[in-house]
Amino acid sequence: MHRRLGAKMVNFGGWDMPVEYPKSGGLVAEHKAVRGRVGVFDVSHMGDIRIHTNLNASGALATVQHLGMNDASKLAVGQAHYSAMLYPQGTFVDDVIVHRLGEDDYLFVINAGTREKDINWVRQNTAGFDSAVEDLSDAYTQLAIQGPKAVDVLQKLTDANLAAIKNYWFTHGMVCGLRNTLIARTGYTGEDGFEIYVPSDVATSEMVWNKVLEAGQEYGIAPCGLGARNTLRLESKMALYGHEISDTINVWEAGLDRYCKMEKGDFIGRAALERAKAAGLTRTLVGLEMLDRGIARDEYCCCDEAGTKIGMVTSGSPSPTLGKNIALAYVPPARSAIGTVIYVEIRGQKYRAQVVPTPFYKRPKK
Amino acid sequence: MGYPNDRRYTKDHEWLVLKGDVATVGITDYAQHELGDVVFVELPKTGAQVAAGKSFGTVESVKAVSEIYAPASGEVVEVNAGLHDTPEKINTDPHGDAWLIRIKMSNPADANSLMDAAAYEAYISEKAKEAAH
């Protein structure tokens, strides 16, 4: 489907995914379409795990509370939140969006690259719980329609009243003639937008994809690839597994404190996080803006003036919105204050960068 | 975009046009297309020595860093300084205005060992087929 649109493809987590669509004008044009108008992403590589009740009426909630760091008891039916599954060391198995589908029924949307690991993790750690775990990853195609005009585009294709869905809430409705489609006001771009979950067979996925493009034509919609998805999420400081979060980075280091509810009761990783908090941070995630002409990239070293290594870039790229070269990096807390000058080593040379406030980009309030 | 007949091409997607013993060097339309939006170029200084097949600089797009390999050995006699401020020209005019450097070739006859336009086009269409499986 994407090749017919002339997409450049890349292998990502075992999936052949579009990086950019030259016909959209390429990565920067796609990025700007999402910030200014609307773009659509095929993110069917994302996985889905449903955890629902078995016999005991609150079995699923107890399971979700055990697996995730956020407090799922605060979710209303129809609401979603950002959370993460942790190892006992307080580091990341994966980050997830938890959707409360029903009274005792939850959906975890997980990353592609970690899918096998995640489902195994969930199964291993819920054996003693009174809940049923289903891997629905192959059943759904996820499409993300993102940008200030996303609501207008999707409203043409659904009977659900989208204006009534708040950020990080969802509903079920008819989309492109498909009944009971999950429509969530979520995304990974820092813009308003929706993620919809449709049956994964090729004919249905293509039909919906084409209808979205058709409906979006009057708004200048662009099909977007993983390249723009990455620059959009980076500007908005949204973590990417294997970069800002991983099995060696803990919640406090990643600065995801507000999604981690220590007071909710025990969960996997909690004890280690308590110890880590008492011990204090040795590194913390900061935003960098390059002062010298150079582009910090993933895994480049950060160093001090003397050239001693002090940290590492986790994601770095030119920012299409800001016209600057930006990066996220782990550095010692003593070097994390806004305005601190840090050096990034690029092809053997030191380039000056400065710690700046994050997110780099915040969408204008309506 | 067509591939001009006045020059030679490498498997790493650079081109050179020879005038006397001075070769003007750039990257091909195929290369700029693969890279996407070019935002940065790093080139050697005039007087630097470059060696055939060895990296002499980098071109960066939003998504990737790519080394550029010298199609021939010799001394850099001119650098396209304008690209410093307008690297995006590499996307719009890779075979013309957006040349990268000029090399005084140590052995101008070496250019004959590179591909001509027809051979290069055959080479990239083969690559495109591989990419589509």
Q: Is the pLDDT of residue B26 over 80?
A: yes
Whether a cis peptide bond, with omega within 30° of 0, leads into A359 is yes
CB B88 within 8 A of CB B110: no
Specify the CATH architecture of the domain B8-131. Answer: Beta Barrel (2.40)
Amino acid at A28: V
For residue B117, give the 3-state DSSP assignment. Answer: helix
Of A324, A260, A329, A337, the closest CA to residue A294 belongs to A324
CB A115 within 8 A of CB A13: yes
For residue B33, give the 3-state DSSP assignment. Answer: helix
Using a CB-CB cut-off of 8 Å, the residues of chain A touching B130 are none
Task: Return the pLDDT at A92.
Answer: 98
Q: What's the mean per-residue pLDDT of chain B?
A: 94
- With 0-12 / 13-18 / 19 or more C-beta atoms within 10 angstroms meaning exposed / middle / buried, residue A78 is middle
Where in chain A do CATH 3.30.1360.120 domains reside?
8-45+139-235
Cα dihedral B69/B72/B77/B79 (nearest 10): -30
CB A56 within 8 A of CB A155: no
How far is residue A47's CA from residue A120's CA, in Å, rounded to a whole number?
A: 13
CB atoms closer than 10 angstroms to residue A103: 12
CB atoms closer than 10 angstroms to residue A87: 15
Please judge whether A293 and B40 are an interchain contact, meaning their C-beta atoms are less than 8 angstroms apart.
Answer: yes
Of B12, B45, B43, B16, the closest CA to residue B109 belongs to B16
Task: Return the pLDDT at A24.
Answer: 82
Task: Return the pLDDT at B2.
Answer: 86
For residue A345, give the 3-state DSSP assignment. Answer: strand
pLDDT band at B130 (very low <50, low <70, confident <90, very high): confident
pLDDT tens digits for range B58-110: 999 998 899 999 999 999 999 999 999 999 999 999 999 999 999 999 999 99
Please judge whether B62 and A8 are an interchain contact, meaning their C-beta atoms are less than 8 angstroms apart.
Answer: no
Task: Return the pLDDT at A1.
Answer: 63
Interface of B with A (CB under 8 A): 33-34, 36-37, 39-40, 42, 58, 60-63, 65, 131-132
For residue A270, give the 3-state DSSP assignment. Answer: helix
Residue of B nearest to A347 (CA): B58
* Fold for the domain defined by A251-356: Elongation Factor Tu (Ef-tu); domain 3 (2.40.30)
Of A223, A219, A189, A233, the closest CA to residue A37 belongs to A219
Q: Does domain A47-135 have CATH number 1.10.3720.10?
A: no
Interface test with A, best of B40, B43, B62, B133 (most A CBs within 10 A): B62
CB A5 within 8 A of CB A206: no
Which two tokens mark A17? 């995914």
Q: Any idea where the domains of chain B sit in the sequence?
A: 8-131
Q: Which CATH superfamily includes the segment(s) A8-45+139-235? A: Probable tRNA modification gtpase trme; domain 1 (3.30.1360.120)
Task: Return the pLDDT at A343.
Answer: 98
Which letter does DSSP use for residue A271 in this model?
H
Nearest to B37 among A8, A28, A230 (CB): A28
Which letter does DSSP use for residue A288 in this model?
E
Task: Return the pLDDT at A14.
Answer: 64
Which two tokens mark A253? 């280091």
Residues 6+ apart with CB under 8 A from B93: none
How far is residue B74's CA from residue B76's CA, in Å, rounded to a whole number?
A: 7
How far is residue B83's CA from residue B43's CA, in Å, rounded to a whole number?
A: 9
Residues (pLDDT < 50) of chain A are none
CB atoms closer than 10 angstroms to residue B69: 20
Please judge whether A227 and B34 are an interchain contact, meaning their C-beta atoms are less than 8 angstroms apart.
Answer: no
